[in-house]
Amino acid sequence: MSKPILQIALDVPLARLFDYLSAGQHVQVGQRVLVPFGRRNQIGIVMALADSSEFAIEKLKPITQVFSDEVPLDAEVLSLIKFSADYYHYPFGQALLAALPARLRQVAPAVARKQYCYQITGAGQQVDMESLPKRQRVLRMVLQALQNEGAQSEAALDALSGSARKAAKELVSLGYAVTEQVLAVKRVPAILETPQPALNAEQAAAVASITQEVQTFKAWLLHGITGSGKTEVYIRLMQHVLQQQEAHGAAQHSAQVLVLVPEINLTPQLEARFRARLPQYHLVSLHSSLSESERLHNWQLAQSGAAQIIIGTRLSIFTPIPHLKLILIDEEHDSSYKQQDSMRYHARDVALVRAKRLNIPVVMGSATPALESWYNAMGSQVQGVSATPSQTNKYGLLTLKQRAVSAAQLPKIDCIDTTKVNLQHGLTPQLVSALRLRLERKEQSLLFINRRGYSPVLLCTACHWIAPCTRCSSRLVVHLGQKKLRCHHCGHEQRIPHQCPSCGDADLHPTGHGTQRLEQTLASLLSTARIARVDRDSISRKHALVEILDRVHNQEIDILVGTQMLAKGHDFPNLTLVGVIDTDSALHSPDFRASERLFAQLMQVAGRAGRADKAGQVIIQTAFPDHALFNALRSQDYASYANDLLLEREQVQFPPYVFTALLRAEAHDFSLVQQFLQLAFTGARALSQHVVTYDPVRPQMERLKGMERGYILMHAHQRPALQKLLTQLVYQLRSEPIAAKVRWAVDVNPLEF
């Protein structure tokens, strides 16, 4: 008999479980239930069964409903989310429910696509085919398939005959077959299997090193220049893991692989490549562009083990994958792996924890690894840098220094001094000439500017008024086509004024360049060029990005203009020129990670040029061509630049030499933020002498979406000391009345401050 009391996690901002009565219903841990909470019913997940409660039994309410037709969440995933909630100091119930597909957070039962599967019985196995009437040709055909090939899905029966399902049901009525309901596996159109290319020596060495230790946990950093064939290494590793499981006599295709990608726009390309090379394995993707029903269906295919390859963005790290044997993290340096609201987890770090718990390898690939990852792989080998034993060579380092296509060479990088040339609508003469040359050769070009819209500023030339956002400490961006001023932080929009609100002058000028203005400029300078723009505004429609990329591959586009969406992962064989517009603002950023991010971004976008047998060129427009960052970029030497950054970080005691956390707070009234942060500051100083707590400050963007903001920075040389302080401090703050008047959160290992 099941225990009468259920401890249930709910999507509420309280760090506790809630007790309910099972009301005699059979309930399992990990199962979804509906419970009364406040004035409404709410979805919860059963976390434990108990015989007693700290509350009086008569005060406990019974659960309303059990979703008994669903597979409960497994203990491994529940434990991983619990660890993450504790580490990132976030209410467990909210973390758990947020990790589920939207359909599983709704009160209505989750409707997934299901189908019936037919299987032969003992009696059916003994049936002599000759005993069946010859006129029942389809019945004989279905029975033979069940006897010889085993269970048949509805899709397999449809392939036999249009009336095969009817015949299968007749076999069930005769007692020759039985049926069960299973998840429908979506039929993907057949893709022509592409031949397997030969590995070069570096790729072969990387694959051999990892496969030798594929039965145990180890973190591998695959540092490969752009175009070096990291994806091919991923494919070989997946082949090895999936085929090895079959060879050992396990259930067919029971092994599963999780591939994490930083952004949605990388998913279609990887998906197509994996399908072409691994057509025998079922692959699903998990990302926010899917409809709610698609996401639920793919999530359930992963949970059931029916999907062997799962490609997804950061939230996918919490997907139930019962036979997970390998985790691959593409572009591991990318900041998109860090959640910037709710539970502020880093998917790469959670992946490392999950892999260690499952005793499986995790492979992190990048041309420009995160400095923390580089330190974990190279700490003791960096001259002048000290490394503790726990941080020295934690990761295995594998390097790919040559491009996978033998004829492909790294592009030539030129930095043009914009202070010494006359710009044509923001473009240097050298870049315009290079664009014309590519048009003559029928080659493709990419212009990278990490600023969407027409112009970043609307300026009054008389009084120097700049259009501000009333809800954020930022400027409104000009979107000329829509005749709108738009804030890219909060979404506020307003019409472009006809005269200056400050002085009344009508001489208002869009100043600076965005993707829209650059597209317009190119159309006027190069009238014959076929131009496409890729930014968040141009690809809001589903499948818009895939369509544009297909046009690039079909040679229907001459010049691509885009933001960081185009900077990584894409492979355009005929693209030989990359132009980079206006990157200097990052050189003056107060964020200590800004130069690291800029170097990675420029290395990635430069890597789009010359990936086949045609020479590539990169032209960077900058007012500081002799900056150390550009010198390292010209030689494309990530290692030396990363080592220099490590030396700087050690001198000033910034990550990875210390562990950091931010306590963020915001409210409509800044005085409330001040009171809360001062209380937290005093408490943190009193709680620990081993953690440095800095005075409360305001961020560069003091107001965001109408909320006044502030934060406290804490750092420690030992992770346990910081975690101990945060646990005690968060517990204290949750009981303070002022904490209910502000919106606050802990950000462990923050990427931006």
Residue matched to tokens 């509420």: 12
Look up residue 690 and give its two tokens: 């081993």
Question: To 5 degrees, how large is the angle CA 556–CA 561–CA 567?
Answer: 105
Contacts of 162 (CB under 8 A, 6+ apart): none
Annotated binding site for Zn(2+): 460, 463, 469, 472, 487, 490, 500, 503
Give the side-chain half-sphere CA count within 13 A for 744: 28
| Burial of residue 116 (number of CB atoms within 10 Å: 0-12, 13-18, 19+) | middle
Cα separation, 684 vs 742, in Å, equals 18
Look up residue 36 and give its two tokens: 């009364």
Question: To 5 degrees, how large is the angle CA 389–CA 390–CA 391?
Answer: 90
DSSP string, 691-728: SEEPPPB--SS-EETTEEEEEEEEEESSHHHHHHHHHH
Cα separation, 330 vs 282, in Å, equals 20
Q: How many CB atoms lie within 10 A of CB 206?
A: 28
* Parallel/antiparallel/unpaired status of strands 444-448 and 559-562: parallel
Annotated binding site: 460, 463, 469, 472, 487, 490, 500, 503
Contact between residue 203 and residue 211 where contact means Cβ atoms under 8 Å apart: no
Describe the strand order of the beta sheet including 484-486 as a list of residue ranges: 477-479, 484-486, 493-495
Describe the strand order of the beta sheet including 531-534 as a list of residue ranges: 412-417, 617-622, 575-580, 444-448, 559-562, 531-534
Phi/psi at 231 (nearest 5 deg)? -65, -35
